[in-house]
Structure 1
C-alpha cells in the first residue's frame, strides 16, 4: 500500500510539473505574440497576461473599427443599400479624383498621412492604408471626421526598417490631380 501511495504521489508530482512546464511554454508563446516596449526588461506572468489581454482587446477594437469603415465605404458606394453586392467602393474614382488632397508628414520613425476627400471618394483611405502596408509602414492609428460633404482622414504609421517616405509620398500623391 505504501508503494502505491508513493508512486501515486510521484505521478501527481510529475503530472503537476508537466502542467506547469506546459503553462510556462504557453505563457512564453503568448508573450512572444504581443508587441513590447523595450524599456522594461522582465515582467511578471500576471503583467504579461494583462498586456496580452489589453493587446487582444485593442486588436478586437481595431477589427471592429475596420469592419465599420468597410461597411460605411460599401454603404456610401452603393446607391440602393445592397452593400454586399459587387465592387461598389473602388470604382468611383473617375468622377471625384480631383477632390482629393493629401499631406504626408514624417517625424523620426513615424509618418502622418492626412487625406481630405469628398464622401464619394473615400476609397482613397483604403488605398492609402494598402500603400502604407506595401511600403512596410505599420498603421498604428487611423481616424476620420466628416464635415458636410468633406471627410478628413488621419493615418499614423510606424516606419519599418525598409520603409521609404519618398516612395510612400510619391505613391499617395498620385491620387491628387
Structure 2
C-alpha cells in the first residue's frame, strides 16, 4: 500500500509569527486581546478613572454646598432655645409676683397670663378705692382744721383750750384719724410720738403738720392697726395726752 504524499509537496511553510499576525489582523477577537492596555483603559467607557472625574463634577458637589445652610440652621436653633429659655424665666418671675400662688407648682403660660391680668384689674380697683377714701379723709380733716379751737371761757373771753389737745376719729375697724394741737416747744418731740404709736402696733399711713399763730402746731395722723384688734379711741387719746404732757 502506497503512502499518501502531501497535497502541496514542496511548498514552504509560513513562519509561525507571520501566521499569528495574519490571524490577529483579520480576527476581531485577536485584535482585542492584542491591544495596548494603556490605550484600552483610557478609551473604555467604564474605565476606573471615570468615577473620580464624575465625583468632581458639579452634579456631586451638593454635599459641600449644604455646609453653610446647615450652620445657619444650627445657629437659628440655638437662638430659638435661648429665646424660649428667657421667656420661661420671665414667666416664672411673673408667676412669683402673684399673691396666694404655690410657687413650687409651675403654671402654664396661658394660666399665668390670665391670673396676672385678673390681679392687675383687682389692684386698679383697690387703688381707686384708696384714692377716693384718701380724698374724703383729707376733705374731712381740712374742714376740721378750719374750725377754730377757740372756746368761750367762763368770763366770756375767747381763748385757747388747754394744750396739748388730742382728737381721735375712727375711720373703720382698723383705721383711725388723730388730730393733735400742741406748742412748738414741747418736751416730747413729734418723732417720739410716732415711735410710741408704732410700739402700740399702729402703722402710720399718712402724717402732716402745719403751724399756727401763738407758737402752736397741728398734727394730722392717719393710722391703721397692724393686727386684727379693736381700736379704743378714748384710751389712745389718753395715752397720747400723757405722752405729750
TM-score, length-scaled by structure 2: 0.40
**Root mean square deviation, CA, Å:** 3.4
Q: Is the 8 A contact 2:187 2:244 kept in 1?
A: no
TM-score, length-scaled by structure 1: 0.52
Residues 6-58 of structure 1 show CA distances to partners (whole Å, capped at 9, x for unaligned) of 332222122222222333444456676xxxxxxx94328xx99xx9xxxxxxx
After TM superposition, list the pairs within 5 Å mapping 1:88-103 onto structure 2: 99-103=163-167
Structure 1 spans left out of the alignment, 5+ residues: 33-39, 52-97
After TM superposition, list the pairs within 5 Å mapping 1:151-170 onto structure 2: 151-166=217-232, 168-170=236-238
* Distance (whole Å) between structure 2 residues aligned to residue 4 and residue 169 of structure 1: 78
The worse-fitting range, judged by mean Cα deviation, of 104-113 and 114-123 is 114-123
The one of 79, 104, 119 aligned to 1:42: 119
Q: Which has the larger radius of gyration?
A: 2
Structure having the larger proportion of residues in strand: 1
After TM superposition, list the pairs within 5 Å mapping 1:73-152 onto structure 2: 99-108=163-172, 109-121=174-186, 123-148=188-213, 149-152=215-218
For residue 208 of structure 2, give the secondary structure of its aligned residue in structure 1: strand
Larger relative contact order, structure 1 or 2 (CA cutoff 8 Å, min sep 6) = 1
The worse-fitting range, judged by mean Cα deviation, of 143-152 and 131-140 is 131-140
For residue 165 of structure 1, give the secondary structure of its aligned residue in structure 2: coil
